[in-house]
């Protein structure tokens, strides 16, 4: 080719540049991977195809679902906690199993971090495989993985075999150090420098992976805590809590390192294998892309939105309350008018009913008077005809000689007795109680007085 690649430091970079330039001119018959629309400065958009490397078996192992990785992280941390607490329990209550499952001298405490470091090395190799095939990593950020994979494998071997202790003793015998923990310093110093350096370099690679960054720095901090406890053991008092902190840190940092490699493998396999600097530049070149706000900025924005929603709801409720208050007097007036109309209607119905009753009573009054007069006359005539004739009273027999001789006393008393009986018999016909019918009961005082006088006259006539 006639194109010169200035600034290329190796064959891989020249090949990568050539492929990047030829990809814009050639059209591939089969495209694999998502196609993203990248906005341009002129307001339009052009499609940028992100070609991924060919499929590998790692895609079926590292799933794209985030929940699956969360479950794996939880199970891994629970397994580490089980090894820690179970080993402590076996050391105290079942010492016969301490050689295998014990916390201080057991093989399981050494096996768990070794397995985690071995899996971390395998995942680092997967990340290297995908990062090397990036078409736009011209700065060579992928080269850090060439050192990460053997470093994790070396950590795994040393954890499983304690080879670092043997190397430290040999180095201290060859070049002795005037310190109390000389053997620890011989293997801990290079290990700490390598771990902190790799954490600093990998943090640039995992900048867009939240889970990877979290577990990477967790592994770094717990490894430093473990180293501090080992170095400060002579100055610290021996205790059960110190032993648990040391062993817990020794179990946690390999597990966190493995999980950070797992999250980054998910990113490079299912999201993008390009370097983060390139993605940042692409977002900076786009005029429509705004910088992502921080956590506190998003929190303040959400609080402002919530406050605006509350103010809107409050104003809506106030408007509804004012509307109800305005409608309330009209409703009261309407109810009062309706009540007054009902009262007037009831009064009108009562007046109509009363007038109808008075009219019917006035129509029936002459007929009732005539019937009452006829009934009174008929009753008077019946009383006069059906009255029995009274026998004259006989003089009472007296046992005294004067009465038997027909003296003056007997002649004088006889008329008086007659008058008295007549007077006593008359009131039986003057009173109208049980023998009178309903028409007689309705007679007025004047009519009854007149009828009584008539009866007396008839009785005197008889």
Determine, yes or no, domain membership for 308.
Answer: no
- Please check whether residues 271 and 341 belong to one and the same domain: no
Q: Give the distance, in angstroms, between the CA of residue 220 and the centroid of all CA atoms in the same chain.
A: 41
- Please check whether residues 45 and 68 belong to one and the same domain: no
Mean confidence (pLDDT) of the chain: 75
| Secondary structure class of 14 (helix, strand, coil) | helix
Q: Give the distance, in angstroms, between the CA of residue 436 and the centroid of all CA atoms in the same chain.
A: 89
Give the DSSP letter of residue 36. Answer: E
Q: Which domain holds residue 432?
A: 315-384+413-461
Higher pLDDT, 295 or 170: 170
Determine, yes or no, domain membership for 33.
Answer: yes
- Please check whether residues 98 and 225 belong to one and the same domain: yes
- Please check whether residues 366 and 223 belong to one and the same domain: no
| Average pLDDT score over residue span 22-45 | 43
The encoded tokens of residue 75 equal 């199970």
| Secondary structure class of 194 (helix, strand, coil) | helix
- Please check whether residues 76 and 224 belong to one and the same domain: yes
| pTM of the predicted structure, to 2 decimals | 0.52
Span 167-190, pLDDT tens digits: 888 988 888 888 777 888 888 889
- Please check whether residues 330 and 263 belong to one and the same domain: no
Provide the pLDDT for residue 46: 41
Span 393-431, pLDDT tens digits: 454 444 444 444 444 444 444 444 444 444 444 444 444
Torsion angle (degrees, nearest 10) of CA 218, 224, 230, 233: -100
- Please check whether residues 169 and 251 belong to one and the same domain: yes
Provide the pLDDT for residue 121: 93
- Please check whether residues 74 and 143 belong to one and the same domain: yes
Determine, yes or no, domain membership for 45.
Answer: yes
Provide the pLDDT for residue 294: 67
Choose from 121-130, 175-184, 239-248 the range with maximum mean pLDDT. 121-130
Pairwise CA distance, residues 292 & 283, whole Å: 10
Give the DSSP letter of residue 353. Answer: H
Domain C-terminal end among 231, 263, 278: 278
The encoded tokens of residue 18 equal 């050539």
Q: How many domains does the chain fold into?
A: 3
Q: Quick one: which of 208, 214, 209 has its CA closest to 282?
A: 208
Q: Are 107 and 99 in contact (CB under 8 A)?
A: yes
Q: How many CA atoms lie within 13 A of 211 on its CB side?
A: 19
Burial (Cβ within 10 Å: 0-12, 13-18, ≥19) of residue 123: buried
Provide the pLDDT for residue 110: 87
The encoded tokens of residue 256 equal 């966190």
Express as a percent the part of the chain with pLDDT over 70. 69
Q: Give the distance, in angstroms, between the CA of residue 215 and the centroid of all CA atoms in the same chain.
A: 33
Pairwise CA distance, residues 48 & 65, whole Å: 25
Pairwise CA distance, residues 396 & 327, whole Å: 103
Span 43-60, pLDDT tens digits: 333 444 444 545 567 777
Q: Give the distance, in angstroms, between the CA of residue 341 and the centroid of all CA atoms in the same chain.
A: 50
- Please check whether residues 133 and 265 belong to one and the same domain: yes
Determine, yes or no, domain membership for 285.
Answer: no
């Amino acid at each position: 080719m006639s194109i010169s690649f200035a600034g290329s430091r190796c064959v891989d970079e020249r090949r990568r540049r050539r492929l990047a330039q030829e990809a814009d001119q050639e059209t591939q018959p089969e495209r694999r991977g998502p196609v993203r629309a990248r906005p341009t400065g002129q307001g339009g958009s052009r499609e940028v195809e992100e070609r991924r490397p060919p499929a590998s078996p790692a895609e079926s192992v590292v799933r794209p679902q985030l929940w699956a990785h969360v479950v794996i992280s939880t199970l891994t941390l629970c397994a580490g906690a089980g090894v820690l607490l179970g080993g402590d329990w076996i050391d105290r209550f079942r010492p016969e199993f301490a050689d295998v499952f014990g916390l201080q001298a057991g093989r399981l405490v050494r096996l768990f971090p070794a397995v985690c470091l071995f899996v971390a090395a395998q995942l680092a190799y997967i990340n290297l495989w995908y990062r090397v095939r990036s078409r736009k990593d011209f700065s060579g950020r992928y080269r850090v993985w060439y050192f990460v994979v053997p470093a994790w494998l070396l950590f795994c071997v040393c954890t499983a075999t304690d080879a670092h202790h043997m190397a430290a003793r040999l180095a201290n015998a060859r070049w002795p150090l005037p310190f109390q923990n000389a053997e620890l310093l011989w293997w801990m110093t290079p290990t700490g420098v390598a771990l902190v350096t790799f954490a600093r370099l990998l943090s640039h690679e995992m900048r867009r992976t939240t889970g990877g960054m979290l577990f990477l720095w967790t592994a770094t901090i717990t490894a430093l805590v473990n180293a501090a406890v080992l170095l400060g053991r002579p100055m610290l008092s021996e205790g059960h809590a110190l032993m648990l902190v040391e062993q817990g840190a020794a179990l946690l940092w390999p597990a966190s390192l493995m999980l950070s490699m797992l999250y980054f493998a998910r990113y490079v396999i299912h999201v993008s294998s390009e370097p983060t600097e390139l993605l940042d530049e692409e977002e900076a070149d786009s005029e429509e892309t705004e910088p992502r706000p921080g956590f506190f900025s998003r929190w303040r924005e959400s609080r402002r939105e919530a406050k605006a929603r509350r103010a809107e709801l409050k104003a809506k409720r106030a408007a509804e309350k004012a509307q109800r208050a305005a409608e309330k007097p009209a409703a009261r007036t309407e109810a009062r008018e309706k009540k007054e109309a009902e009262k007037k209607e009831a009064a009108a119905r009562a007046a109509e009913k009363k007038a109808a009753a008075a009219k019917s009573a006035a129509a029936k009054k002459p007929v009732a008077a005539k019937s009452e007069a006829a009934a009174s006359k008929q009753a008077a005539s019946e009383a006069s005809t059906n009255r029995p004739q009274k026998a004259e009273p006989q003089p009472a027999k007296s046992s005294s000689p004067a009465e038997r001789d027909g003296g003056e006393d007997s002649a004088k008393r006889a008329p008086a007795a007659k008058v008295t009986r007549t007077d006593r018999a008359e009131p039986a016909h003057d009173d109208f109680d049980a023998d009178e019918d309903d028409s007689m009961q309705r007679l007025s005082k004047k009519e009854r007085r007149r009828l009584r006088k008539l009866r007396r006259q008839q009785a005197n006539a008889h």
